C-alpha cells in the first residue's frame, strides 16, 4: 500500500483537517518485479552462447599463423564485439536487482580505493589524466568489498572517461562517528543542470556524452546507486558543464548501531 497525506489549513493558517490517500500498488510492484526477473533471465540466457562464440574464436585465433591477415582481422572484430556484448549482458544481469545482493562486513575502504585506482591507472595514463587520493588509512566501513569495489570502479573509470586530456581526478574521504563519505571529483565535461537528476536512471546518457561519441550504455551509475542504497547509504551528483563533476557517496561507518 502506498500512502500520501496532506494537511488542510484554514484561512488564518490554523489546522483544519487532513486528507490521507491509501493506494493499492500490488499490481505495480508485481509488474516491476516481473520486469527485473525478465532482465535477469534473458541476460543469463545470453551468456552461454556468447561464451561459446568467444571460446571458439579464441581457439581459431590460437592458430592465427595458418590464417590470412584479413581473416585474423575479421575474427578480432568478432571477438571485440562478442566481448562488448558479454560485458553489456553482465551489466544488465547485475542491474536486475534480484541478483544484486550485498553482504556488508567490516571493510577497509582505503584498500578498496587503492585497488580501484590501480585498475584504472592504464586508462588514466592513456588519456593523460592524473589520479590523486586524499584518504585516511585504514578507513573502516560496514560494506560489501566486492560491491563497493564495483561502485568505486564505476565512478573512477567514469571520471577518467568523461575527462579531456590532461584532466584531474581526485578521490577523497572523510569520516564521522557514524558515516564515511567518499568523493570522486573530476575536471571533465560535466553534466547539465537539467540532466544531473537523471544520471542514476537506467540507460541514461547525457547529450554531451553522446555528442562526443564516448562509448557507454548508461547502466553503471544505476547499478552504483542500487549498491550504495542497499548498504543504507546514499549517492549524489554535483556538476557544472565544462568544469567538472563530483559524486559523493555516504556509507555507514563500521560499528554503526543497526548496521
Ligand atoms: P555510461 O558511462 O556507460 O554511459 P553510466 O551509468 O556510468 O553509464 O553514466 C550515465 C551517464 O552519466 C553517462 O553516459 C554520462 O553522460 C554521465 N556521466 C557519468 N559520469 C560522469 C562524469 N564523471 N562526468 C560527466 N558525465 C558523467
**In Å, what is the CA distance from 115 to each residue of 86, 110, 149?**
23, 9, 8
Higher pLDDT, 38 or 201: 201
Residue 259 pLDDT class (50, 70, 90 cuts):
very low
Contact predicate 141/105, CB 8 Å: no
241 lines ligand 1 (CB under 6 A): no
Residue of 123, 164, 205 to mutate, ligand 1, most atoms within 8 A of C-beta: 205
> What is the DSSP secondary structure assignment for residue 206, as one 8-state letter?
-
* Residue 100 alpha carbon to ligand 1 centre in Å: 20
Average pLDDT for residues 122-126, to the nearest whole number?
Answer: 91
Contact predicate 102/231, CB 8 Å: yes
Strand 140-143 relative to strand 179-186, pairing: unpaired
Q: For the whole model, what pTM was predicted?
A: 0.72
CB atoms within 10 A of CB 124: 19
227 lines ligand 1 (CB under 6 A): no
Tens of pLDDT, residue by residue over 50-81, are: 888 998 999 999 999 999 999 999 999 899 88
User: What phi and psi, each to the nearest 5 degrees, are found at residue 42?
Assistant: -65, -45
Region class of 29: left (phi > 0), else alpha (psi between -120 and 50), else beta? alpha
Using CA positions, which residue lies closest to atom 20 of ligand 1?
158
Tens of pLDDT, residue by residue over 200-223, are: 998 899 999 999 999 888 888 988
Mean pLDDT of the chain: 87
* Residue 163 alpha carbon to ligand 1 centre in Å: 11
Residue 138, preceding bond cis, omega within 30 degrees?
yes
Atom index in ligand 1 nearest the CA of residue 163 equals 24
Atom index in ligand 1 nearest the CA of residue 217 equals 3
Tens of pLDDT, residue by residue over 148-204, are: 998 999 999 999 999 999 999 999 999 998 999 999 999 999 999 999 999 999 889
Least Cα distance to 233 among 89, 104, 57, 61 occurs for 104
Residue 258 pLDDT class (50, 70, 90 cuts):
very low
ipTM over 0.85: yes
pLDDT of residue 97: 56
Q: Is the predicted pLDDT of residue 6 greater than 70, yes or no?
A: no
Q: Is the predicted pLDDT of residue 19 greater than 90, yes or no?
A: no
Amino acid at each position: 500500500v502506498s500512502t500520501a497525506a496532506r494537511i488542510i489549513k484554514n484561512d488564518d493558517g490554523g489546522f483544519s483537517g487532513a486528507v490521507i490517500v491509501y493506494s493499492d500498488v500490488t499490481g505495480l510492484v508485481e509488474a516491476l518485479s516481473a520486469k527485473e526477473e525478465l532482465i535477469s533471465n534473458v541476460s543469463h540466457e545470453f551468456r552461454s552462447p556468447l561464451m561459446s562464440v568467444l571460446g571458439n574464436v579464441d581457439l581459431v585465433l590460437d592458430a592465427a599463423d595458418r590464417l590470412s591477415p584479413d581473416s585474423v582481422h575479421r575474427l578480432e572484430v568478432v571477438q571485440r564485439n562478442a566481448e562488448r556484448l558479454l560485458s553489456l549482458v553482465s551489466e544488465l544481469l547485475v542491474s536486475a536487482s534480484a541478483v544484486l545482493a550485498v553482504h556488508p562486513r567490516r571493510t577497509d575502504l582505503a584498500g578498496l580505493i587503492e585497488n580501484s585506482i590501480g585498475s584504472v591507472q592504464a586508462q588514466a595514463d592513456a588519456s593523460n589524466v592524473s589520479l590523486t587520493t586524499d584518504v585516511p588509512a585504514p578507513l573502516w566501513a560496514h560494506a560489501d568489498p566486492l560491491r563497493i569495489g564495483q561502485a568505486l570502479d564505476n565512478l573512477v573509470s567514469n571520471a577518467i572517461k568523461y575527462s579531456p586530456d590532461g584532466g584531474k581526478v581526485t578521490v577523497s574521504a572523510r569520516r564521522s562517528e557514524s558515516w564515511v563519505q567518499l568523493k570522486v571529483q573530476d575536471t571533465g565535461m560535466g553534466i547539465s543542470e537539467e540532466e544531473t537528476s537523471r544520471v542514476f536512471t537506467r540507460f541514461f546518457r547525457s547529450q554531451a556524452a553522446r555528442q562526443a561519441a564516448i562509448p557507454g550504455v548508461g547502466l553503471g551509475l544505476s547499478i552504483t546507486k542500487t549498491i550504495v542504497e542497499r548498504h543504507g547509504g546514499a549517492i549524489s551528483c554535483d556538476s557544472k558543464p565544462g568544469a567538472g563533476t563530483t559524486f559523493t557517496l555516504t556509507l555507514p561507518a563500521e560499528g554503526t548501531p543497526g548496521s
